[in-house]
Chains A and B, each alone.
Chain A
Amino acid sequence: MTMNAVYNGSNLDSIVGEDPGIPFALLDEESKREIRRALLHAVCVPGYQVPFGSREMPVARGWGSGGLQITLAIVGKTDIVKVIDQGDDEGVNAVNLRRLVVTSTGIEESSEVVESTIIQSRHRIPEDEMINSHTLVLQVPVPEPLRGVERDMRELARMHAEADYSRMWVSLYEDKVRNGVITQTTGYPCLVNGRYVVATTPIPRWDIPRLHDSQFLTLFGAGREKRVYAIPPYTLVEPLTFEDVPFEVEQANGARCRLCSSSESFLVESPGTNGDAGTWTCSDTAWCRARRLK
């Protein structure tokens, strides 16, 4: 049996007292180093899911604990962080995660992509252009793209190792045969660098083209499933689809944002009540606001 820590009485009192005295970026240095090693591994083998000793975070597993660990492992004192959930800086989960990063590091926060260096996100890629100086950290609930066709982890490991993805293709074939279209919604499976199939968090299909040949680094963190993976800048990212079945992003049939009247951003619907038609707004709130100010 290993004891993870040894306290003496006075140490304990300081813990039980008012100020818990947490280290910079919450995690102890050893842990951060370990996560960074896993990230380097992930960048070197694009799309490969690197196992890592995921730590328990102050947020629950499934609530962005993987993305949070990545952000905390790579953050430096001069970084500026933007955190969004569903495209919104003000979503409760975004607020909570940002608060944790900022209070545990003392770094600046921003809602502007152009000002930020680390952008942690759940379910979206910001509409704004991102460049080499940006690192996108995506929170991943289910990192295994093949789970829909196979449950056994030993077999899953084998399939990835041998790039044996035919069952994935069969599931797309069956989908198209049964439904006339590919019904995969968000988290569309993509082949990275011609080698590994990845789950694209669940970002909408709208965002998938942004991952291809991007200028920025994307890091994926799955805290509960204890894996990280990466899409380095300028990497080939191909959504799995047949040559003669074009990959389709979400259509909104001419809908426009009711605030900024955009039709070229990912829109989310607010259903109408009492038979009224629903309205649409940009999922990316910072982008929408900037457009209105222009």
Chain B
Amino acid sequence: MSKIVIPDSVLKVSGLGKIYGPITDGAIERTGSHVGTARDYQTGSIVAAWDVNFEVAAGEALGIVGESGSGKSTVLRCIAGDIDSSAGDVRLATFENGESNLLSLDAATRRKMRIDQVSVVYQDPAEGLALGVTAGGNIADPLTAAGWRNFEGIRARARDLLQRTEVPLDRMDDIVRSFSGGMRQRVQIARALANNPRLVLLDEPTTGLDASVAAGVLDLIRGLLEEFELAAIVVSHDFSVIEMLTERCIVMHHGRVVENALTDQLLEDPHHPYSQKLVSAARA
């Protein structure tokens, strides 16, 4: 695996691991890419991710690819603090001067971090949005959490974000439940950007959308990543998404990172046998 040196990384993930079920001696050896399973036959535990290391620089988008169940979402959710991790150290340079391990924050601090440092865009917009609240209200939520108290100021900011994410402004005061899937996803992205976060985590942001809508959302994300100089992690099992959004990516297989490469290099010349399989399947 070629080592890539990242200058000025914003995010540094070291030794991240997550095991569902009892953690016993030898569980790591009994699972992984080389064994061909993430499930420890002795205990039934799932080693969903183990020994995951990577860095992301400002303005850079890192991709995570791999088949279904390989641990992509797990890695993302551990970093976001949606689930507790079993091992690892994650530093965000802009959060508490990079002195805190994001994985060991108490719940209150973690929520604070999620207000203006780290945002998540979930595959299912219902997870990231309050469906019974208007599009504007969904954006007002992180804004008021960050201390915004001016009604017209909040309206203006929401309008601006919805415009950038191409949500029709005349729908701003409608509840999100009345929106189509693509529109919901755009509102979710608008909301995620509300407080200019340093890091955006996107989990399959276009899965479930039809091809033309997906293309629009991808265009949008790419534009926003550039415009805001965001650090981002994009999880997808779809290489076209990864190709479009990221310069660099990691490949996961049964909970382990099997390759860490520049995206175009990976697509041209994958090293790991599993990556080769994955790329050739995608090319077919």
Which residues of chain A come closer than 8 Å to B240, judged between CB atoms?
none
With A166-B141, A166-B142, A167-B141 as given contacts, are A177 and B136 in contact (CB-CB < 8 Å)? yes
User: How many angstroms from the CA of A174 to the CA of B172 in the assembled complex?
Assistant: 11
The residue of chain A having its C-beta at the shortest distance from the C-beta of B149 within the complex is A243
Q: Tell me the A151-178 residues at the B interface (CB within 8 Å).
A: 158, 161-162, 164-167, 169-170, 173-174, 176-178
- Contacting residue for A173 out of B107, B111, B137, B145, CB 8 A: B137
Provide the main secondary structure of the chain B interface: helix
With a CB–CB cut-off of 8 A, which chain A residues contact B173? Answer: 177-178
Q: Contact at B137–A242, with CB atoms within 8 Å?
A: no
Is A18 interfacial (CB 8 A cutoff)?
no
Decide if B149 touches A173 in the complex (CB within 8 Å): no
With known contacts A166-B141, A166-B142, A167-B141, A173–B108 Cβ distance under 8 A: no
Type the 1/0 row for A119-154, where 1 means its CB is closer than 8 Å to any CB of B.
000000000000000000000000000000000000
B136–A164 touching, CB < 8 Å: no
* A162 cross-chain contacts in B, Cβ below 8 A: 108, 111
**Taking CB as reference atom, which chain A residue is nearest B112?**
A162
Q: Are B142 and A176 in contact (CB under 8 A)?
A: no
- Selected A-B contacts with CB under 8 Å, 27 pairs: A158-B107, A162-B111, A165-B144, A166-B142, A169-B140, A169-B144, A169-B149, A170-B130, A170-B137, A170-B140, A170-B141, A170-B144, A173-B140, A173-B144, A174-B133, A174-B137, A176-B151, A177-B136, A177-B137, A177-B173, A178-B173, A242-B150, A242-B151, A242-B154, A243-B151, A244-B150, A244-B152
B151 proximity list for chain A (CB < 8 A): 173, 176, 242-245
Q: Which of B243-268 contact A (CB under 8 A)?
A: none
Q: Which of B130, B134, B149, B151 has the most CB of A within 10 A?
A: B151
Q: When chains A and B are docked, how far (Å) is the Cα of A173 from the Cα of B143? A: 11
- Which interface class (under 10, 10 to 19, 20 to 34, 35 or more) fits B? 20 to 34
Which residues of chain A from 97 to 130 have any CB-CB distance to chain B below 8 Å in the complex?
Answer: none
Q: How far is the CA of A244 from the CA of B107 in the complex (A)?
A: 33
Q: How far is the CA of A174 from the CA of B134 in the complex (A)?
A: 7
Report which of B108, B145, B150, B152 forms a contact with A166, defined as CB distance below 8 A. Answer: B145
From 151 to 179 in chain B, residues with beta carbon under 8 angstroms from any chain A beta carbon are 151-154, 173
Roughly how many angstroms separate A166 CA and B108 CA in the complex, as a whole number? 14
Please measure, in the bound complex, the distance between the C-alpha atom of A158 and the C-alpha atom of B111, giving whole angstroms: 11
CA distance A174 to B152 in the complex (A): 13
Please, which residues of chain A bring their CB within 8 A of the CB of B141? 166-167, 169-170
By the criterion CB–CB under 8 Å, are A164 and B154 in contact?
Answer: no
Which residues of A have CB within 8 Å of B108?
161-162
Give the docked Cα–Cα distance between A69 and B107 (Å): 37
Q: A165–B133 Cα gap in the complex (Å)?
A: 16
Could you say which residues of chain B place their CB within 8 Å of the CB of A165?
144
Residues of A within 8 A of B133 (CB): 170, 174
Contact A166-B134, Cβ < 8 Å, known A177-B173, A243-B149, A245-B151: no
Q: Which 8 A-B pairs have the closest CB atoms?
A: A169-B144, A166-B145, A242-B151, A173-B140, A166-B144, A243-B150, A162-B108, A174-B137
Choose among A158, A161, A173, A178 the residue that contacts B154 (Cβ–Cβ < 8 A): A173
- 0 or 1 for each of B95-120: is its CB under 8 Å from A? (1 = yes): 00000000000011001000000000
